Structure 1
Amino acid sequence: MDITRDNFEIHLDYIQESISEASFIAIDAEFSGLHVGAETKDAPNDTHEDRYLKNRRMAEAYDIIQFEPHHPAYYEARTFNFYLFPTTVSVGRAHLDVMGSFQNSALDFLARSKFDFNKWITAGIPYMNPAQVVECRSRRQEELHNGLPDIPVDDKSEQFYRHLDRKLKKWASNPSAPLKLTVSSNYQRRLIHQHVRSLGPRFVSKSYGNHVQVTCISSEQAKTRKMQRITEFENNLKRAEGFSQVIKMLIRARKPLIGHNMFLDLCHLYDQFWERLPPTLVEFQRAIHKLFPRIWDTKNMAEEIFNYGGGDGTHHQLETKLEDLYRDNRHVKWDYPYVRLHNEFNRYESDKFHEAGFDSLITGIVFARLHRRW
């Protein structure tokens, strides 16, 4: 099931229900790039710390653009394919417009895999990390208490402003009817709104074409208006958080998190949806396991089982690429559980390799089979 900003809120409760019912969560992601120059490619003599520092650089440089948590509930698969695009909207006075990087070879690979770039850009789900949420809420609180910062009155507008001041003060002494003020520029419009705010919360200004209308409301109406503005802000903030709500669901659920060769996926997930990656591998291990206590990597599992023996006294050599494991698993005579697609999730009845949704689905299938031999 493809999830975009158009249907995200509609399906959010069902996503929560699926996560709660899942036996485990398998994930996969597609990125806007991989390597930041040749120095970030794996080398034979890399230590674990070297590998982490390289992944850290790549996670900070590029973004997840398609993310897939796949939820096998009793080995019935529900696959959600999320298109992700960073939040660009203004929430209160916080203007979120982050810079992104792209690697041509990564985009070429995605294009050859039939990735829908139009859907990603026009309908990608926004997201924010907790620090951005705190910043937005803090700025909004400041705005509610102190208002917008005043703009200076330039020399050309001194006469206009003095006339405005006299007119508003006279009207405010007996505001029985709305006051209509004609404007000739956006600058004059801003000065009117600014002056009206200084009169107190009962005075409200609203723009209409070439004029601004000023109204006096009751104290009760002023309180209601403030609460409506707070509610509107919180609703906008929740929409701007977008996919980050799903990450919080995964963290709260504390279900086993499954991936294939998922070190880079975890680095991206942490950096993009939680906070900046810590400077060392040890710190990252502590931090990621605090969020997800049970992490399984099917590549490591396969290497343990096939290269070092499968518990039956025999040794096997097998390619541990995800596609190879999936194809071989369908033919090797294992005693493995049956995994079927939920009847509402039939997108992947045929193979779609290198789409995050399909790759997470087969990661879940491979894990279910490997786990029986673990």
Structure 2
Amino acid sequence: MQYKSSLSNALQTADRRRLVSRQWPIKQVTKANFAEALAEIKTLIFNSDYVAVSMQRTGRYSSPWQKILPVDTEEIAYLKAKRSAERYQILQFAVCPFSVKDSKLIAHPFNFHLFPRDELKIGMPSYGFSCQSSHLTSMAREGFDFNTCFYNGISYLSRAQESAAIVRMGNLRSIDNGAQSSPVHSVADSVFSERIKSRVKNWRNVCKDSNRTDDALINSLRKVIAGSEKYGSRPCLSIDVCSERQVLLVLEMLKGFADVVPLRAPVKGGDMQVLRVILTSSEEDKNLLEDELRNMEEEQNRSIRGFREVIDLISTSQKPVVAHNSFNDFASIYSKFLAPLPLTMNEFCSSLLLVFPLILDTNHLLTKCKPFETSSNLSGSISYLKKRLSAPIDMEIPDQESGNVNVQGHYVLKLCQLFVALHSILKINPEVHESDNSPLSPFVQHHVNNFVPVSDYGDSSAEDIRIWTSSSRRVSTDNLVFLLGFEAGATAGKVKRILHDSDDVFSKEFDVRMVDRTCAVVVFWTPGFAEQFLKIMGSGKLLLGKLREMISEGLRAVDYDTYRRACKSVQWETDLAECLDEASGEKETPISAAKSWQEQQSVISWNSDEMINLDDL
């Protein structure tokens, strides 16, 4: 028994070694080595041609209909991406600065383990987020180290949260004494300024007089009366202010005192703020204090920003950012590291491109490489693309030691490989012309910022991707009807056969696909037939065959506007049929003249191959 156990352990160890040998060396970054990795990746980002990003989240959607589908307009796709980004947390963020020299891919992969926590005890960030159990199970199977994430993951604050945090932790924030002047003074402003000026002048005099060899008790009483405190070893005076206007008035008044340095203290509550005035002994001492404050402020800001420093580095570098599903990925990046997501897709795109002006999506690039064979995984897609290249693409990872091999974060390297293969194929596209005024390559000029949402296919934690085998067809949302209330176990093929034999409205071409187990979508390719079918279903007109029986058993049909209202509702049920039933009872909001372009859009790109076919699950 002992021999069998030893043999089993040896075989398991050998299997693990074989598994590791097939992986690449990727630097794993936690709180312990974050400062070192940050300094290293900064140089690599600015010296690279591109920066690839990928991430592991706690989930993407709770049920099949909640992911982006081919039936979704850009408006609805954004609502789904927004909801997913706000609900689920990023636990792992892989960043890979890379360059391409001849046929060699030179990559520098880093995998950052993240976990938001209130490191600074200021009530941010929020602790709450959702988890998708199947997603976490998939991560566990791939070897994701949850202990490392929870105990040693790097925290962060978004830019919006940082601004709020700085106000709360204002005791280390120095204020520019050359701040702009306040507006024209009122009588109340003049009285306030004179009162504070007199107080500061009296305090300075007391502090300077205390240096004389007077009685210690008398000096102490003078400081108490003047309200003097200590900031380190230097005298300090606290001034209460009730508004930003009073802050400006105090700063303007302090310009007359060359030996003081003002600081903003934490907010006491409500609108009450505190300004600290620190007295220095000389010009040299003042410069020393200001340097100390700048260093302390920068250290504090670094601790507040956390991992967001990496996001800011990528943004500052202005390098093209490569992602596989950039719409969903950047919705998460925006929500977690920048600010709350805007209400509309138009606002989101405009704001995002101010931070990341160059985004390259391999999903978009794949659509330009048709016709392709279908491949079930990312590795297979890369292999297929490599066969079309005249020279192989080798990958070099110069930074890492050969022993630093880890499975976590390896998708970002596969993404780099896929991008380089697509680049090699598409860069000879005759439609690409270089602009004399642009520093960008023709390839980047032609394909940058095409990250219109495409339907998800599979989980981001898996390697499954789509290779398009047929072109999409444009169809108006007026030609779509959602069917709900059919019997359990119904399939798209069965529903289509029942519809085909029920009425003349189905004599022309139409398509049926399952959205989830409770709902199917019918696409009519003849304009007007969807409206006719809805009238038939609503009028009680006698239909033929099985459909008549299904209607008596509760089969219902709703239009696309009902689906739109369901997607806009606050509460999303697990089954789409429940959401559509609730939305059916809602009144449509009148269309305003200022309706956004996303809401006006009423055309989708239908590709039947991209819909979930539950018959195959």
Scaled by the length of structure 1, what TM-score is found? 0.71
Q: Which residue pairs with 2:418 in the alignment?
A: 366
| Local SS of the residue matching 2:108 | strand
* 1:59/1:12 CA distance change after superposition, 3 Å: same
Quick one: distance in 2 between partners of 1:351 and 1:304? 33
The aligned runs of 1:200-215 (5 Å cut-off) are 200-201=229-230
How far residue 335 of structure 1 moved from its aligned partner, in angstroms, is: 2.6
**For the aligned residues, what is the CA RMSD?**
3.4
Quick one: distance in 2 between partners of 1:56 and 1:341? 37
Letter of the 2:423 counterpart? H
The aligned runs of 1:236-251 (5 Å cut-off) are 236-251=300-315
Quick one: distance in 1 between partners of 2:310 and 2:137? 29
Letter of the 2:55 counterpart? A
How far residue 219 of structure 1 moved from its aligned partner, in angstroms, is: 6.0
The question of whether the paired residues in 2 share the 8 Å contact of 1:306 and 1:318 is answered with no
Quick one: distance in 1 between partners of 2:58 and 2:281? 51
Q: Which residue pairs with 1:334 in the alignment?
A: 389
How far residue 6 of structure 1 moved from its aligned partner, in angstroms, is: 0.7
Quick one: distance in 1 between partners of 2:383 and 2:405? 13
Quick one: distance in 2 between partners of 1:43 and 1:97? 32
Q: Which residue pairs with 1:112 in the alignment?
A: 141
Q: Which residue pairs with 1:268 in the alignment?
A: 332
Letter of the 1:100 counterpart? G
Quick one: distance in 2 between partners of 1:343 and 1:373? 26
* 1:320/1:228 CA distance change after superposition, 3 Å: same
Larger Rg over CA atoms: 2
Q: Which residue pairs with 1:310 in the alignment?
A: none
2:115 pairs with 1:82: no
* 1:319/1:234 CA distance change after superposition, 3 Å: same
Q: Deviations over 1:139-161 (max 9, x none)?
A: 2337889xxxxxxxxxxxxxxxx
Q: Which residue pairs with 2:557 in the alignment?
A: none
The question of whether the paired residues in 2 share the 8 Å contact of 1:336 and 1:368 is answered with no
The question of whether the paired residues in 1 share the 8 Å contact of 2:51 and 2:320 is answered with yes
Q: Which residue pairs with 1:180 in the alignment?
A: none
The question of whether the paired residues in 1 share the 8 Å contact of 2:116 and 2:127 is answered with no
Q: Which residue pairs with 1:149 in the alignment?
A: none
2:69 pairs with 1:43: yes
Letter of the 2:168 counterpart? R
2:160 pairs with 1:96: no
* 1:78/1:142 CA distance change after superposition, 3 Å: closer
Worse-superposed segment, 79-88 or 51-60? 79-88
How far residue 321 of structure 1 moved from its aligned partner, in angstroms, is: 4.6
Worse-superposed segment, 336-345 or 121-130? 336-345
Which residue, out of 323, 327, 337, partners 2:379? 323
Quick one: distance in 2 between partners of 1:249 and 1:202? 34
How far residue 236 of structure 1 moved from its aligned partner, in angstroms, is: 2.9
The question of whether the paired residues in 2 share the 8 Å contact of 1:28 and 1:360 is answered with yes
Quick one: distance in 2 between partners of 1:280 and 1:40? 18
How far residue 226 of structure 1 moved from its aligned partner, in angstroms, is: 9.1
Quick one: distance in 2 between partners of 1:225 and 1:350? 46
Q: Which residue pairs with 2:341 in the alignment?
A: 277
How far residue 122 of structure 1 moved from its aligned partner, in angstroms, is: 1.4
* 1:327/1:173 CA distance change after superposition, 3 Å: farther
The question of whether the paired residues in 2 share the 8 Å contact of 1:260 and 1:322 is answered with no
Unaligned stretches of 5+ residues in structure 1: 146-169, 177-194, 205-216, 308-315
The question of whether the paired residues in 2 share the 8 Å contact of 1:25 and 1:257 is answered with yes
Letter of the 2:126 counterpart? V
How far residue 70 of structure 1 moved from its aligned partner, in angstroms, is: 0.9
Q: Which residue pairs with 1:8 in the alignment?
A: 34
Quick one: distance in 1 between partners of 2:230 and 2:290? 9
The aligned runs of 1:1-374 (5 Å cut-off) are 1-37=27-63, 39-74=65-100, 75-90=105-120, 94-101=122-129, 102-141=131-170, 173=218, 199-201=228-230, 220=281, 231-307=295-371, 316-319=372-375, 321-330=377-386, 332-336=387-391, 338-345=393-400, 352=407, 355=408, 357-374=409-426
How far residue 242 of structure 1 moved from its aligned partner, in angstroms, is: 1.4
Quick one: distance in 2 between partners of 1:358 and 1:270? 23
Q: Deviations over 1:167-202 (max 9, x none)?
A: xxx9864559xxxxxxxxxxxxxxxxxx99965237
Letter of the 2:162 counterpart? V
The question of whether the paired residues in 2 share the 8 Å contact of 1:36 and 1:61 is answered with no
Unaligned stretches of 5+ residues in structure 2: 1-26, 175-214, 234-277, 427-617
Quick one: distance in 1 between partners of 2:375 and 2:218? 84
Report sequence identity in percent.
26
Worse-superposed segment, 7-16 or 333-342? 333-342
Letter of the 1:324 counterpart? G
| Local SS of the residue matching 2:335 | helix
Higher relative contact order (CA 8 A, sep 6+): 1
* 1:143/1:290 CA distance change after superposition, 3 Å: closer
Quick one: distance in 1 between partners of 2:173 and 2:345? 42
* 1:333/1:121 CA distance change after superposition, 3 Å: same
Letter of the 1:125 counterpart? I
Scaled by the length of structure 2, what TM-score is found? 0.45
The question of whether the paired residues in 2 share the 8 Å contact of 1:299 and 1:321 is answered with no
How far residue 15 of structure 1 moved from its aligned partner, in angstroms, is: 0.6
Q: Deviations over 1:284-317 (max 9, x none)?
A: 222222222221111221222033xxxxxxxx33
Structure 1 residue ranges, 4+ long, deviating more than 6 angstroms after superposition:
142-145, 221-227, 347-351
The question of whether the paired residues in 2 share the 8 Å contact of 1:33 and 1:107 is answered with yes
Letter of the 1:368 counterpart? V
* 1:348/1:256 CA distance change after superposition, 3 Å: farther
Quick one: distance in 1 between partners of 2:324 and 2:231? 59
| Local SS of the residue matching 1:343 | coil
